[in-house]
Amino acid sequence: MDSIIRRRTAAYVCRSCIQRTRNHIQQRAYSRAAQPDIYDVVCVGGGPAGLSLLTALRANPVTSHFRIALVEAQDLSKMQSWKLPPDRFSNRCSSLTPSSALFLDKIGAWDHLARDRVQPYHEMQVWDGVSDARIEFDWAPDAAPSADTTIAYMTENLNLTSGLLKRLAQLGGVSVFDSARVEKISLGEQTEAQDLREWPVVNLAGGRQLFARLLVGADGADSPVRSFAGIEARGWDYGRHGVVATLELQGEGWGGDQMKTAYQRFLPTGPVAMLPLPGNYSTLVWSTTPENASLLKRLPTKDFVALVNAAFRLRPTDLEFMHTQSKGQAEEYSWRMEHTPSHGKLIPQVVTGVQEGTIASFPLKMRHADTYIGERVALVGDAAHTIHPLAGQGLNQGQGDVQSLAKIIEYAVNHGQDIGARLSLEPYLAERYATNHVLMGVCDKLHKLYSVGSGPLVPLRSLGLNAVNVLGPLKKFVMSQAAGHGIKVF
Amino acid sequence: MGVAIRRSVGLAGLAGRSAHTLRPCIAIASLPSPLNQQYSAPSRPPPNYPGHVPLNRLEKAALAIGSGLMSLRDPRRGDLIAAFAEATATPYFIYRLQDAMLASPTGRRILRDRPRITSTSLNLPYLRALAPNTVGRTYIDWLDREGVSPDTRAAVRYIDDAECAYVMQRYRECHDFYHALTGLPVVREGEVALKAFEFANTLLPMTGLSVFAAATLKAPERRRFVGTYLPWAVRNGLRAREVINVYWEEELETDVDELRRRLGVEAPPDLRAIRKAEREERRRKAAEGGV
C-alpha cells in the first residue's frame, strides 16, 4: 500500500502529506495486528483447587498443548519457596482423603510435598460431649498401620500449594500472573477478525487483558468469577467461628509416632477437633461461638491450654462456666479434673503448649452456588461451595471437583468439542453438584443435631451413634464415603 | 430387704481412685465397677468415699421400692426416706442437680469448700443472739419451736460418685433451712408442702413421690394442701432460683425477707397459726356443744 501511494501520488501530493498518510496507514496496521491474548484456560485463583486443575491439565498429554494462564493476587514465588523448621507448623491444615492423595499422586504433585510434614492417621475417635456416646473409625483395628489403612493425611495448606507450584514449575507451560489484581472481568468485543462478545476477558491492573476460552473460577468463597457469571451462592452463616492453633502435646500420641489418632468431640457450642501432626504436635480446630472465640484469642497461654484440655475432658457445664472467666481457667481445670472420671486412652494426650502466633479464627458458613458452569465459565473449590469444617471435607470436595473437571475437559478435547461450551461442561455439573450438595447437607444436619444440649434428642442421637458404631457394614459405608472411594450414591 | 449388703470397713477415702459416674460407655462394659453396675455381691467394687456402699442396679431398685413403701407407712422413719432419696436419685436427677450447682459461681464455691451443717459447725448461741428477722435467727427459732437439731441427718451411702454424694448430703442438711425460709412446720402437712416445693425446685424424685403422702392426710388438711399449699409450692418452686446454690453459712445475717425476694420465694400462709386457730375453733365448738 505504501509503495502504491508513493508511486501514484508522488507527482501530485506534497511530501509532508504523503508522510502523514503513511503514518496513518501504519497505525491502522498496528491496530489490526494487536491480537487479543486468547488462552485456552484462564484460572483465577492460585489455591489448592486452581493449582491442582492446572497441574492436571499440564500433566495430561491430551490437554498439555493448552495455552494456560494463572492469575493470583499473592506472590507465588514466596508460596513456592515456603519453608518452616521441623518443629513449627502452620495453623491452617487440611485433612486429605486417600482419593485426594491418589489424585495428587496421579498428577505428579504428591512427591513434591514435604512428606516429612504430612501426617497420615489411622484412627479417629468421635464422641458426644453431652452423653459420651462414641464412634471409633478404624479400617483395621488390630492390624499394623499401613497405607491401606490410612484414614486421611493431615497436611498444611501451604505445604500443599508449595508442592503443587513446584510440580507446575517442573511441567512449565503456564503463563503465571501473580501479585496481580483482577480489576474487572468483562466480555470481549466484536472486531473484524473475530466475535468475542461471549468470551470472558480478565482485565488485570496495569492494562493486561486475558481472553479465555474457558474461565475457571478457583478464587475462593467471594468469587469475582462467580459474580461475573451472574451465579448466586445461597446458604447461611452458622454464627460460629473456627478457632485454629498449633498445639504441643505431652507425647507423640497413645500409639506412638506410627499410629496417630484424630479426635473430635461434639460440644453444644460446636465440635472441637484435635488432628495429629508429625512429632508431638497437633492442630486444633474448635468451632465455637464468636464470643468464646474472642475469649480464646485473648487468654494467656496457660489458661488457653487449660481450656483446650478441658474441652476434651470436662462436662459442658464446666466449659460454659470457664468461658465466663476472663482468666484463671488453669486453676479451675485442675480442681475439676480431681472430680472427673478418667477416660484413659480414649481422649487425646494432655496439651502442654501452644506455638506462638498460631491462634486465629475465621467465620463458618455454608454456601452453594446455584450452578457450577456458565457460558465459558466453570467454578471449582470454595468458589462453588463452602462447607462446615466438622467432617474435614472442604478441600477434598475441591480436589474432587478438579478431578472431575479435568476429566471432562479431556473428554471434550478427545471428541473435538469446544471446552468452553455449556454442552461440554454440563457433565461436570451433573457429576459433582448432587454429590457436593448431599455432603454439605449431611454436615449441616450433623452440626444442627449436635448443637442441642439437652432434651430427648440427646439420648436419641446417642443411640444412633452407638448403633452406627456397632453395625460394621454401615460404619464401613460411612468411612468409605468420607474417604471418597465409596459407591457413588448421588 | 433380704439383700445382703457387705459393709466395707476402714477404707478411708481411697484418694488414689478417681470417682465414677454412671454414664453409659460401651468400651468398659466387661469390668465389674460401679460404672456399669453389673457386678454381683461377691465382686463388689471398693467404696469411693467413707461410708459408701456400692449397690448394683437390682439392689438399688429393691431398696427404692422397699424404702418407698415403708416410709409411706411411717413417715417418721427419716432413715428410710434418706435411703429412698439416694436409691431414686440416679441415673439422671442427681447429675442434673450437680450441674445446677456447677453452673452457678456460688454453687461451685460450695462444691469446693464442702461446708457441712451440724450443731458443731454452726454456732448455735451466736445464731440465737442475731437480730430477729435474719436468716440465722429465723432458722434457730424454727429449730427451737419444732424441737429438732441439725444433727438428725443421716450420711449419704448409696450414691456412687463422691461429688454427687456431697450434693445429696448438702440438700439433706439444708432441708431445715428451707423450712426456715418458707416457715412451714414439721407436721405431716407442712413436710408434704415443703416436699412439693423442693420437687419443683430440685427435681429429686423422692421429693416428688413424697407428695403422694398427701393421701394419708386428714380430709380438711388434704383440702388445704390441694387448695393452697400445692399451688403455692409449684408456683414458687418453678420460678425461684435454685435453692441448692444458697451458701447458707454466708447468709446467716441477711434479712430473711430480702433473701426471699432475691430467691423469688413468697412466704406461704402461716400453717401453724392456721392449725392453731382451727384447733381452738374446734375446742370452742366442742365446749359450746357440750354446754
Contact B102 A317 (CB under 8 A): yes
What residue in B sits closest to A319 (Cα-Cα)?
Answer: B103
Which band of pLDDT confidence, cut at 50, 70 and 90, is reported for residue A300? very high
Helices (H), A132-203: 157-171
- DSSP per-residue string spanning B87-103: HHHTTTHHHHHHHHHHH
Q: Which of A261-270, A452-461, B2-11 has the lowest mean pLDDT?
A: B2-11
Give me the number of domains chain A comprises. 1
Residue A148 CB-density burial (10 A; 0-12 exposed, 13-18 middle, 19+ buried): exposed
On whether residue A325 sits in a domain, the answer given is no
For residues A176-201, one letter each, b for 16 or more C-beta atoms within 10 angstroms of the residue's C-beta and e for the rest, the string is bbbebebeebeebeeeeeeebeebbb
- Does position B74 have pLDDT exceeding 60, yes or no? yes
Give the span between the Cα atoms of A341 and B31, in whole angstroms.
15
Q: Do the Cβ atoms of B189 and B110 come closer than 8 Å?
A: no
Q: How far is A425 from chain B (nearest CA, A)?
A: 50
Domain membership of residue A379 as a residue range: 38-118+154-236+365-468
Contact B19 A341 (CB under 8 A): yes
Q: How far is B31 from chain A (nearest CA, A)?
A: 14
- Does position A39 have pLDDT exceeding 80, yes or no? yes
Query: Is residue A469 less than 8 Å (CB to CB) from chain B?
Result: yes
Interface of B with A in 75-134 (CB under 8 A): 99, 102-103, 105, 108, 112
Consecutive H or E run containing B195: helix B188-202
Q: Do the Cβ atoms of A212 and A200 come closer than 8 Å?
A: yes
What number of other Cβ atoms are within 10 A of residue B234's Cβ?
15
Supply the pLDDT for residue B143: 86
The domain that holds A224 is classified in CATH as: 3.50.50.60
- Does position A152 have pLDDT exceeding 70, yes or no? yes
Give the annotated binding-site residues of B: 175-176, 179, 191
The answer for residues whose C-beta is within 8 angstroms of residue B74's C-beta and 6 or more apart is B80
Which band of pLDDT confidence, cut at 50, 70 and 90, is reported for residue B32? very low
Q: Which of A343-352, B45-54, B179-188 has the lowest mean pLDDT?
A: B179-188
Q: How far is B187 from chain A (nearest CA, A)?
A: 37
Give the span between the Cα atoms of B16 and A110, in whole angstroms.
50
Measure CB to CB from residue B18 to each of A133, A315, A342 and give the nearest one: A342
Query: Is residue A131 less than 8 Å (CB to CB) from chain B?
Result: yes
Q: Please give the average per-residue pLDDT across A209-218, as a whole number.
A: 96
Q: Which of A383-397, A413-427, B24-38 has the lowest mean pLDDT?
A: B24-38
B216: alpha, beta or left? (left if phi > 0; alpha if psi -120 to 50)? alpha
Query: Is residue B21 less than 8 Å (CB to CB) from chain A?
Result: yes
Give the annotated binding-site residues of B for Zn(2+): 175-176, 179, 191
Which band of pLDDT confidence, cut at 50, 70 and 90, is reported for residue A335? very high
Contacts of B24 in chain A (CB under 8 A): 131-133, 462
Which band of pLDDT confidence, cut at 50, 70 and 90, is reported for residue A489? confident
Contacts of A470 in chain B (CB under 8 A): 26
Query: Is residue A317 less than 8 Å (CB to CB) from chain B?
Result: yes
- DSSP per-residue string spanning A254-293: TT-SSS-EEEEEEETTEEEEEEE-STTEEEEEEEE-HHHH
The answer for residues whose C-beta is within 8 angstroms of residue A80's C-beta and 6 or more apart is A162, A165, A166, A169
Higher pLDDT, A224 or B148: A224
In chain A, what percentage of residues exceed pLDDT 70?
95
Q: What separation in angstroms does the CA of A235 have from each of A228, A286, B99?
A: 19, 21, 36
The answer for residues whose C-beta is within 8 angstroms of residue B105's C-beta and 6 or more apart is A321
- The bridge status of strand A351-354 relative to strand A360-369 is unpaired
Supply the pLDDT for residue A425: 97
Supply the pLDDT for residue B18: 36
Contacts of A321 in chain B (CB under 8 A): 102-103, 105, 108
On whether residue A441 sits in a domain, the answer given is yes
Supply the pLDDT for residue B207: 92
Give the span between the Cα atoms of A113 and A117, in whole angstroms.
8
Predicted ipTM of the assembly? 0.80
Contacts of B103 in chain A (CB under 8 A): 317, 320-321
Give the span between the Cα atoms of B185 and B273, in whole angstroms.
10
pLDDT tens track for B246-275: 999 999 999 999 999 999 999 999 888 899
Query: Residue B288 is placed in which grid cell?
Result: 359450746
Which band of pLDDT confidence, cut at 50, 70 and 90, is reported for residue A153? very high
On whether residue A147 sits in a domain, the answer given is no
Q: How far is B244 from chain A (nearest CA, A)?
A: 16
Q: Please give the average per-residue pLDDT across A234-245, as a whole number.
A: 96
Contacts for B235-241: CB closer than 8 Å, 24+ residues apart: B236/B197, B236/B200, B236/B264, B236/B265, B236/B266, B237/B196, B237/B197, B237/B198, B237/B199, B237/B200, B237/B201, B238/B200, B238/B201, B239/B264, B240/B201, B240/B264, B240/B265
Contact A321 B103 (CB under 8 A): yes
Which band of pLDDT confidence, cut at 50, 70 and 90, is reported for residue A488? confident
Give the span between the Cα atoms of A164 and A168, in whole angstroms.
6
Supply the pLDDT for residue A262: 96
pLDDT tens track for A62-87: 999 999 999 999 999 999 999 999 99
- Does position A30 have pLDDT exceeding 70, yes or no? no
Contacts of B20 in chain A (CB under 8 A): 341
Query: Residue B116 is placed in which grid cell?
Result: 457441712
In chain A, what percentage of residues exceed pLDDT 90?
83
On whether residue A125 sits in a domain, the answer given is no
Supply the pLDDT for residue A4: 63
- The bridge status of strand A351-354 relative to strand A174-177 is unpaired
Supply the pLDDT for residue B40: 76
On whether residue A427 sits in a domain, the answer given is yes
Q: How far apart are the first and last CA of chain B?
A: 54
Q: Which of A245-259, B145-159, B187-201, B276-290 has the lowest mean pLDDT?
A: B145-159
Q: Please give the average per-residue pLDDT across B181-204, as a whole number.
A: 91
Measure CB to CB from residue A321 to each of B26, B102, B162 and give the nearest one: B102
- Does position B118 have pLDDT exceeding 90, yes or no? no
Q: Please give the average per-residue pLDDT across A312-331, as a whole number.
A: 95
Contacts of A125 in chain B (CB under 8 A): none
Query: Is residue B16 less than 8 Å (CB to CB) from chain A?
Result: no
Mean pLDDT of chain B: 84
Contact A131 B102 (CB under 8 A): no
Measure CB to CB from residue B27 to each of A318, A341, A346 and give the nearest one: A346
- Does position A191 have pLDDT exceeding 90, yes or no? no
Query: Is residue A339 less than 8 Å (CB to CB) from chain B?
Result: yes
Q: How far is B61 from chain A (nearest CA, A)?
A: 22
Q: Which of B108, B111, B159, B203 to mutate to test the interface with A (most CBs of A within 10 A)?
A: B108
- Does position B43 have pLDDT exceeding 90, yes or no? no
Query: Residue B129 is placed in which grid cell?
Result: 443472739
How much is the pTM? 0.85
On whether residue A245 sits in a domain, the answer given is no
- Does position A1 have pLDDT exceeding 70, yes or no? no
Contacts of A320 in chain B (CB under 8 A): 103
Distance of CA A255 to the CA centre of its chain: 29
Q: How far is B110 from chain A (nearest CA, A)?
A: 13
CA atoms within 13 A on the CB side of B172: 26
What number of other Cβ atoms are within 10 A of residue A237's Cβ?
10
Torsion of CA A99, A101, A102, A108, to 10 degrees: 150
Helices (H) and strands (E) in chain B, counts: 13, 0
Give the span between the Cα atoms of A223 and A383, in whole angstroms.
5
Task: Tell me the Cα Rg of chain A.
Answer: 27
What number of other Cβ atoms are within 10 A of residue B113's Cβ?
10
Give the span between the Cα atoms of A363 and A242, in whole angstroms.
6
Q: Do the Cβ atoms of A200 and A377 come closer than 8 Å?
A: yes
- The bridge status of strand A38-44 relative to strand A68-71 is parallel
Whether the upstream peptide bond of residue B91 has omega within 30° of 0, thus cis, is: yes
CA atoms within 13 A on the CB side of A269: 23
Mean pLDDT of chain A: 92
Contact B162 A339 (CB under 8 A): yes
Query: Is residue A189 less than 8 Å (CB to CB) from chain B?
Result: no
Measure CB to CB from residue A335 to each of B23, B35, B112 and give the nearest one: B112
Contact B23 A320 (CB under 8 A): no
Contact A341 B20 (CB under 8 A): yes
What residue in A sits closest to B20 (Cα-Cα)?
Answer: A341
Residue B86 sits at φ, ψ, to 5 deg, of -70, -35
- DSSP per-residue string spanning A71-108: E-SS-HHHHHT----TT---S-EEEE-HHHHHHHHHTT
- The number of C-beta contacts closer than 8 angstroms across A and B is 37
